[in-house]
Amino acid sequence: MLIADRSPPIARIAFIGGGNMARSLIGGLARARGAQIAVAEPNVELRSALAHDFGVAAHAQGVDAARDADVIVLAVKPQVMRLVCESLRECAQATQPLTVSIAAGIRIAQIDRWLGGAQAIVRAMPNTPALIGAGATGLHANARVSPAQRELAQSILGAAGTSEWIADEALMDTVTALSGSGPAYFFLLVEALEEAAVAQGLPRETARALAIQTCLGAGRMLRESGEAPATLRQRVTSPNGTTQAAIESFETSDLRAIVARAVAAATKRGQELSAQFDD
């Protein structure tokens, strides 16, 4: 007697746009071998590279990639998102796929309107470490997204790192300010540490190598220990020691307020950019 195969069908995923972020997600999904992937990319060289490197079906037009997809991943610049969505409207209305947007600043209501309405949409904000499989992504789903579709969206973004669901879409601008822009803050800190050490006499190559490894090691300790940043900081800070002297200097300069103002400024700018795409 034959036993019916009850395993879930392999998802058909179409990427609209084949830039760096899409490439990182496609690479992760291709390694997992759990999806049928198509990509639409107008640039001939990028399109050929994606087909060659990952064995995906590559198309010049979005509608050709999206026609039979269970999931459409919108990986295009915010400035062209409306045009892209409108080109996919007929397909989206006919097949009702899950749509996942990784474009910064574009709200779900805008995407839904451009696709013709009544769509299941997840808005995602990944960051550049996704390119090496170490990304941090915030996700928000509208009410039309089913539990199975939420799981599918998380598996797609999870191919490039950690993902967290955000209940209130308004907070996606804060996610952008925190993790979306956050790598640049980190790089700035490493720059500053390097310059400070060079000013104290260390050779630049040595200063950079030590700064990078110190930040990498500290990040791994945070991730692997599961303890709060304050707890780990306190352990390193001996009374009247060198670390305490540095921390007191940071506190005198009101580092926390500087960071708070920076995140608030980035959040506000994200809100302003979203408003630009309103009708």
Share of the chain above pLDDT 90, in %: 83
Q: Answer yes or no: do 155 and 18 share one domain.
A: yes
Tell me the β-bridge partners of 12: 36
Q: Single out the residue in 169, 203, 222 at which a domain terminates.
A: 169
Q: Is residue 5 very low, low, confident or very high in pLDDT (cuts 50, 70, 90)?
A: very low
207 falls within a domain: yes
* CATH number of the domain encompassing residue 195: 1.10.3730.10
> What is the pLDDT at residue 275?
83
With a cut of 70, say whether residue 65 has pLDDT above it: yes
Please compute the mean of the pLDDT values over residues 73-90 and round it to a whole number.
95
Tell me the β-bridge partners of 140: 123
237 falls within a domain: yes
Instruction: Give the orientation angle of helix 204-225 with respect to helix 182-199, to 10 degrees.
Output: 140
Q: Answer yes or no: do 75 and 202 share one domain.
A: no
Q: Is residue 33 very low, low, confident or very high in pLDDT (cuts 50, 70, 90)?
A: low
Q: Single out the residue in 146, 169, 192 at which a domain terminates.
A: 169
Q: Single out the residue in 137, 169, 201 at which a domain terminates.
A: 169
Q: Answer yes or no: do 70 and 124 share one domain.
A: yes
Q: Answer yes or no: do 53 and 148 share one domain.
A: yes
133 falls within a domain: yes
Mean pLDDT of the chain: 92
Nearest to 212 by CA among 233, 234, 191: 191
User: Residue type for 45, please?
Assistant: E
Torsion of the alpha carbons at 199, 202, 208 and 210, rounded to the nearest 10: -120
Q: Answer yes or no: do 146 and 121 share one domain.
A: yes
45 falls within a domain: yes
Q: Answer yes or no: do 187 and 161 share one domain.
A: no
Q: Answer yes or no: do 189 and 121 share one domain.
A: no
> What is the pLDDT at residue 172?
95
Give, as one character, the DSSP assignment of residue 97: -
With a cut of 90, say whether residue 131 has pLDDT above it: no
Q: Say how many domains are in the chain.
A: 2
Using DSSP's 3-state secondary structure scheme, residue 73 falls into strand
211 falls within a domain: yes
Please compute the mean of the pLDDT values over residues 59-80 and round it to a whole number.
95
Q: Answer yes or no: do 32 and 142 share one domain.
A: yes
With a cut of 80, say whether residue 1 has pLDDT above it: no
113 falls within a domain: yes
* CATH number of the domain encompassing residue 61: 3.40.50.720
> What is the pLDDT at residue 30?
83
Q: What is the pTM of this model?
A: 0.87
Q: Answer yes or no: do 99 and 141 share one domain.
A: yes
273/42 Cα distance (integer angstroms): 25
User: Residue type for 202, please?
Assistant: L
162 falls within a domain: yes
230 falls within a domain: yes
The residue range of the domain holding 25 is 11-169
C-beta atoms surrounding 131 within 10 Å: 17
Nearest to 21 by CA among 29, 32, 11, 33: 29
Q: Answer yes or no: do 113 and 18 share one domain.
A: yes
66/163 Cα distance (integer angstroms): 24
Q: Answer yes or no: do 196 and 162 share one domain.
A: no
How many helices (H) and strands (E) are present in the chain, helices listed first?
A: 12, 8
Q: Answer yes or no: do 114 and 192 share one domain.
A: no
Q: Is residue 133 very low, low, confident or very high in pLDDT (cuts 50, 70, 90)?
A: confident
pLDDT tens digits, residue range 174-233? 999 999 999 999 999 999 999 999 999 999 999 999 999 999 999 999 999 999 999 999
Residue 145 backbone zone (phi > 0: left; psi -120 to 50: alpha; other: beta): beta
pLDDT tens digits, residue range 220-267? 999 999 999 999 999 999 999 999 999 999 999 999 999 999 999 999
Nearest to 57 by CA among 8, 96, 18, 99: 18
